Structure 1
Amino acid sequence: MNNNQTRALGPLGAIMAAALLAGCASYSGIEPQSTLRGAQDVGLTAPASGAPAAPVPALAPQWWTQFGDPQLDRLVAQALEGSPNLRIAQARLARAQAVQELARSATLPQVQGSLEAQRQRFSATSIYPPPLGGSTRELGTLRLGGSWELDFFGKNRQALEASLGASRAAQADVEAARVVLASNVARTYFQMARLQDQAQVAQRTLAQRQESLKLVGDRVSAGLDTTLEQRQSEGAIPEARQQIEALQEQLQLARNALAALVGQTDLKVEPHSLATARPLEVPTTIPADLLGRRADIAAARWRVEAATHDIASAKAQFYPNVNLTAFIGMSSIGLNRLLESGSQEWGAGPALHLPIFDAGRLRANLRGKTADLDLAVESYNAALLEAVRDVADQLASAQSIARQQVDQREAQSAAESAYDIALQRYKAGLGTYLNVLTAETAVLNQRRLAVDLAARALDTQVLLARALGGGFQADPGTLRLATTNTR
């Protein structure tokens, strides 16, 4: 082997020798224990026996506008503009992006400049001979230096990928916070509408009971009823008033909750009747691509990705760390000579660091990163199972409520028919007005039930919209992760 070959193989041979010595610090036996679940593990696949399942249309990003209520649209927009919870998520995203930029900087060359000037007395009994020894001089240094870590084993590259995954997870968290906030505003708004509709029914109930009391009073005066019936009718009136007051209390609490969501303390809003809201289109099956529709699942999957790269970066720390360093500048004793040509200095060369004995620090760090991965995987699995359960629950409730509304409408129709008959008999002199009021009681009960079912239907549609992702639109990278079941 000639001298040129020897010089060329010198740095490479040093690196190889360092890699062998690094075997003293080993990461063997440290492996993740959790397994990532995929769509097929929770039944999110098309039927194997026939054609693929019909796709479920994706929700629009502003799905709440489909209810056809401009007042609701304005409230949601106002909440998304100034919610503290949403701003917290955005601040976390900004922090994650800053960490990503910090990790990126570690993969690039670094350049520093320095200028030093000091006055120093040199020891007369040290290494400096007279006249320097025993004198006091001014020292000056002007230097430009640089370094570049040669990432042979991918430590910095994997750290950058991990920070990118954390940043993407934080971005998905922002989208998830938007969905939750919009759904909470819509649910609270419809809750207020329910209470207002119920208050109207309660007002009519109070009026009906007052009419009934007057009728019973007339019958007592005529000797047709006793004071027992009169006392019973009198007791029904404060009960009706109490129901109205309870509804007003709940309405004010709902208004306060909506004001907190919107970020406006003096919120003045009167929701429209539930009957004016246009229902959302409700799917009949769980979409097979649910994993790519939900921001919370996307965030959990990106955290798994980040934890995977964190482990790779932790393993790379077991190998040598190679840096190239260089500097050029001026140095002199005496500031007046700093810029003279003879004050020039420069240097360049590699620096190699390798772990041989670290008292278990690297293995402990790797065990921690491995535990973080297991935590991220199980968190993702839990989020996936919860998402499937959430959609299944809302679909079951939506379908059941639709059937209940059919039965309730039939019952209300029968009650209204009985009321009409009682009213006609009273007008024809064949029945008493008390029979009319009794028949109206059944109608009012059905109207209360109709309001409750209408409110439940809208609330379930909002919850279903949230369970289906709330209009979250995943990017290609997220969709790739959603369909990947490997680490």
Structure 2
Amino acid sequence: MKRVTWQNALGLLALSIGISSAQASTVATTACPDISQDTQLTLARYVERSLCANLDTRAAWQRVQTQRAQVGAANSGYYPSLNISASSSRDFGDRVAGTDPDQRTLSANASWLLYDFGGREADVSQAKNTLASLQASADASIHSLAAQAVTAWFNRLAAEASFASAKSSLAAAKETAEAAEKRIKVGVGTREDTLQAQTALAQAELVLIQREGELAASNGQLAVLANYPANTALTPQTTLPDPSQLSAPPALAVLMQLADERRPERIAQEQQVAAAESSLDQLAAQRLPRISLNASAGDSRNSFGQRDSGQVAVTATLPLFTGFQQRYQERGAQSQIDQQTLELDRIRQQVGLDVWLAWQQVNTARSRIDATDSLLASAAESSRAALARYRAGLGNVLNVLTAQSTLADARQQQARARFDWASARVQLARAAGLLTASPDAAFQDIQP
């Protein structure tokens, strides 16, 4: 599996907003760019800032570094150990006449485990598998955070589009109210029409207030995810590509296969299974002999003289009985393997479901774009016609208000459909494990 970096994690940009690899490579080179002053904030800059500054990704990286140290500690079992000790003592109690109360000793001891039937190898393997699992988990954290950042980005844009739609609806409601007032003045309108128009105007004002609050809330979420205070004002770009200009995702079967190969959650769990198997191998090695080489040298001195000592020995140790501890430890290790294997199967099922749901969301969102475009065009024409007829004295205000309400809903649906489509493509890339691809290759280099 490719390691996730800030640069290749930006592969989501190619599929969501259609930038090129040259554009993606020009993302700020600073570790954590300050995007609060960007007047036209790009998705590339926002995702990079979120990945770099978020506390969860930093914590995941520290866990990886801790486990790297554990791998080094496991490898130390292949090297000999050497100890030197020195002591100086004086005896203040009763002693045999003629003996020296002062005693000085210097000794050195060396021990080297020569062979243990794979115990050290299993220990190192467990540490390495755990490290690989933590690295994959860190990748999964980056994937998850990147998806959260994109979701927050498009929610912010959708909230802004909803606010703009509410402003347009308010303007239309004011126009209708003015038309109703003019009809009363010329003697062709009714008080009921005026009251209905004013009611619709008040409702449009309430909707605008609500949309403004939603916009502020989405901007706060956008800022916090990038590790800024919630009141930090970010100004993201609102341009989205034409759906017809981006390539379609690969076939569903291809994406499911890619997900099973690349999803970091599955890779992390697979390494957990391997680590559990190494633990069982380590316990099994404890049943077998351990052959070690030991050497010692010493020097002892007092007022009567000096005495040197030394020894070299090869020792074989075979455990005969441990009170059934070994048996139960191996049973526990085997049970742990079974649990981790079941969890791996569950994750594989979830990965397949994630791809399936994301695939359906992309197709649904793409179809909604065409449908909402047609809906908006017809609703706009209907609203214009209804207002023109009302001004000419040929219609009633209910038809105008109904047409305007339909138009406001159509604007809202069109904006949401486009942002949902862009977000759904990113979610599909994440579900398929493609956020580790290069910036140009999210979907384009995957062949059916």
- TM-score tier, shorter chain, comes to 0.7 to 0.9
CA contact (8 A) 1:190 1:271 kept: no
CA contact (8 A) 2:354 2:431 kept: yes
1:363 maps to: 327
Residue from 280, 292, 305 that aligns with 2:274: 305
CA displacement at 1:198 relative to structure 2: 0.7
2:25 maps to: none
Distance 2:58 2:248 in 1: 31
Matched, 1:62 2:10: yes
Q: Which amino acid aligns with 1:99?
A: Q
Distance 1:420 1:241 in 2: 21
Map 1:166-181 → 2, pairs under 5 A: 166-181=130-145
SS in 2 for 1:446: helix
Aligned residues: 403
Distance 1:163 1:249 in 2: 50
Distance 1:351 1:371 in 2: 34
Matched, 1:110 2:81: yes
1:40 maps to: none
Map 1:1-12 → 2, pairs under 5 A: none
CA displacement at 1:462 relative to structure 2: 1.9
Q: Which amino acid aligns with 2:57?
A: L
CA contact (8 A) 1:320 1:355 kept: yes
Residue from 312, 315, 323 that aligns with 2:284: 315
Map 1:10-21 → 2, pairs under 5 A: none
Distance 1:344 1:273 in 2: 85
Distance 1:343 1:245 in 2: 95
Instruction: Tell me: CA distance 1:203–1:236, structure 2 relative to 1, closer, same or farther (3 Å).
Output: same
Matched, 1:327 2:296: yes
TM-score calculated relative to the size of structure 2: 0.81
1:97 maps to: 68
User: Structure 1: which 5+ residue stretches go unaligned?
Assistant: 1-58, 475-487
Map 1:99-178 → 2, pairs under 5 A: 99-121=70-92, 124=95, 130-132=97-99, 136-137=101-102, 139-178=103-142
What does the per-residue CA deviation read over 1:62-109, in whole Å, with 9 as the maximum and x for residues that have no partner? 213322486221111112222110011111111111111111111222
Residue from 182, 196, 202 that aligns with 1:232: 196
SS in 2 for 1:286: helix
Map 1:83-482 → 2, pairs under 5 A: 83-121=54-92, 124=95, 130-132=97-99, 136-137=101-102, 139-265=103-229, 267-273=232-238, 275=240, 281-287=248-254, 288-333=257-302, 342-419=306-383, 421=385, 431=394, 439-472=403-436
CA contact (8 A) 1:79 1:263 kept: yes
TM-score calculated relative to the size of structure 1: 0.75
Q: Which amino acid aligns with 2:251?
A: T
CA contact (8 A) 1:172 1:295 kept: yes
Q: Which amino acid aligns with 1:270?
A: T
Q: Which amino acid aligns with 1:333?
A: N
CA displacement at 1:122 relative to structure 2: 6.4
CA displacement at 1:227 relative to structure 2: 3.3
Q: Which amino acid aligns with 1:63?
A: G
Distance 1:442 1:355 in 2: 83
Instruction: Tell me: CA distance 1:436–1:90, structure 2 relative to 1, closer, same or farther (3 Å).
Output: same
What does the per-residue CA deviation read over 1:196-221, in whole Å, with 9 as the maximum and x for residues that have no partner? 01100001111111222222233345
Q: Which amino acid aligns with 1:463?
A: Q
CA displacement at 1:243 relative to structure 2: 1.9
Q: Which amino acid aligns with 1:81?
A: C
CA contact (8 A) 1:293 1:473 kept: no
CA displacement at 1:222 relative to structure 2: 4.6
Q: Percent identity?
A: 20
CA contact (8 A) 1:415 1:443 kept: yes
Matched, 1:72 2:37: no
Distance 2:204 2:272 in 1: 55
